[in-house]
Structure 1
């Protein structure tokens, strides 16, 4: 096991790892943002909602057949994106692979995702129309967290081998602008898919997988060029489109993942997001869970008043939206997706997953 991975394991266990794609946050800045955070924001009612959500999600895992270990239904049944996010939701509660009440569910997810790693390194279910570089990015993130947080020999070998293939594939299809698109090939790019793969690469690097400097430099350049003058972020750097809530949230997380923690770009983007406080009715329409998955990460990294205002707002909104059976409905993807995302968002203060560490 490499020194960097041993550091990952010990830091992950302590909830203190912060290894961005480029440079670490200055110590004094880290201390300032830590003062703003408290586990107390996970109220008893919030924990009950999380417990109900995870219990519902665990019962939705496919237990037999080709897609054993997968999640999802309808057009998204058995895809790698929803399955990876579901595994991450369990890990956010402090369950490493094979341990805790959801350890077996995570193990089944690992078996499913590793079975989907093709010889090329592309992570997808052959013939499944919804799998694309979104799924590949989320799956790379999940496998990276599993690989970094477990010292089991089976994970060291199987997951390590598959993860290196996946990272190599990601690197090979980064386009000249620094981004990624739907298919595992060099073409045009968009910010939404790009951030999924930035997060996957950052997590892999944190776990000791080599990611070349030039890949990270190109990521930063692409993200910076995606920001509009109003501080928000657009879909493609070539489109000239307007800023949107999901893309701006993803853009801020991209900056943080690249080691850019302050400055005009970050401040303008955070100010743009704060106009769309959860529950305010200020145009937060479309891709609700995707947008808030990134928005809560952005505010968690920002700390201070940003976090103190944002988390209670999204927490209370999600508690109101939870269904009687413990799930969260999502009409754009599926309820497994909505429930996994809601549980990840609500558990952000646990700070168990190194990829989310500020």
Structure 2
């Protein structure tokens, strides 16, 4: 198994190609000092994930030799495979690398481009019934894989799927909605309401696509930012000025649950969109310092991913505190098999592939391999 801290063969060339395509100067990832416990946890998580890859190429703990049909694949398998691909890439394993991890990533990417059948509008969430959640996850993964495919044919498929998927996100945002819901997304492309959980995946996909040179209307990103900001639940004075130094993001604008996961999602998505010093960013990161996550919270693994990445972007004491908290929680929660298992609620039904992929993304913050999360 390739070390987590040594870029595998071909990675630096692929990163250089990506930066060249975006007009940015390529820089080598700068791994920081990582504890032996975290390194061991990541290595064990990678080894477990590779054992869950099915002959067809997708990742699932449900073993089967059944060959999926294009456009009709097991529920949520494409979304979970995309999440796993990002987890592998976040610690340096890209499709085509001459390692077990690289070969697994290559088979996974081929599964998605060969078996996910977009509809006539570019919608990716229909084939595996993962809806706009899956569409956003797959689109973000595809944008991160642009120029990193092992062969030209796959890269052309990735680019075509990405461009059409981005157009679908823009169209779905334009569906007539109330003032509170404008700029966001919900479960289906035609949904007339919005929530922060679905919306952050679409906003990150738009930003990643723009970074990679795909045309994205400026107003689409601006409207999404405005929607995320409306989900920030701080008291304001008569002039609209915030009265609190810390506050949370809610599940929906002007209402809904205010949790560490929704707050961390809002924090990361705004910073990915280039908003670093807004009151909503400062206040939500302060709130997370005051109310850090705990293992038994609903949607812990989903929220931990946003928490680790979002607080890292914030920097300083926020980043240091979140890193220590994230590593302590995840190392202690890892199963001896190498997997992470969700503990409660709806997240429990998502399964260990989901939790393990998100754990890798949470522990990989300081390796800077995925362009979307680089400062």
Task: Please indicate the TM-score interval, normalised by the length of the shorter structure.
Answer: 0.7 to 0.9
Q: Does 1:231 align with 2:236?
A: no
* 1:274 alignment counterpart: 289
Q: How many residues align?
A: 325
C-alpha distance in structure 1 between counterparts of 2:275 and 2:153, whole Å: 36
* 1:89 alignment counterpart: 87
* 2:108 alignment counterpart: 109
Distance 1:97 1:345, change over 3 A: same
C-alpha distance in structure 2 between counterparts of 1:242 and 1:69, whole Å: 33
Q: Does 1:341 align with 2:358?
A: yes
C-alpha distance in structure 2 between counterparts of 1:237 and 1:294, whole Å: 19
* 1:353 alignment counterpart: 370
| CA deviation after TM superposition for structure 1 residue 228, in Å | 0.3
* 1:319 alignment counterpart: 331
Distance 1:157 1:4, change over 3 A: same
**Range with bigger deviation, 148-157 or 307-316:** 148-157
* 2:36 alignment counterpart: 44
Equivalent runs, 1:87-236 vs 2, <5 Å: 87-101=85-99, 102-114=101-113, 115-119=115-119, 120-124=121-125, 126=127, 128-129=128-129, 131-150=130-149, 152-174=151-173, 175=175, 176=177, 177-229=182-234, 231-236=247-252
Structure 2 spans left out of the alignment, 5+ residues:
1-16, 64-73, 235-245, 343-347
| CA deviation after TM superposition for structure 1 residue 258, in Å | 2.2
| CA deviation after TM superposition for structure 1 residue 187, in Å | 1.4
C-alpha distance in structure 2 between counterparts of 1:144 and 1:271, whole Å: 31
Distance 1:325 1:10, change over 3 A: farther
C-alpha distance in structure 2 between counterparts of 1:205 and 1:166, whole Å: 13
Distance 1:183 1:156, change over 3 A: same
Q: Does 1:253 align with 2:258?
A: no
Distance 1:51 1:11, change over 3 A: farther
Off by >6 Å, runs of 4+ in structure 1: none
Relative contact order, CA 8 A, sep 6+: which one is greater?
A: 1
Q: TM-score normalized by structure 1?
A: 0.84
C-alpha distance in structure 1 between counterparts of 2:158 and 2:232, whole Å: 35
Which of residues 47, 62, 74 is equivalent to 2:54?
Answer: 62
C-alpha distance in structure 2 between counterparts of 1:209 and 1:252, whole Å: 24
Q: TM-score normalized by structure 2?
A: 0.80
User: What is the CA RMSD across the aligned residues, in angstroms?
Assistant: 2.4
Contact 2:20-2:26 within 8 A present in 1 as well? no
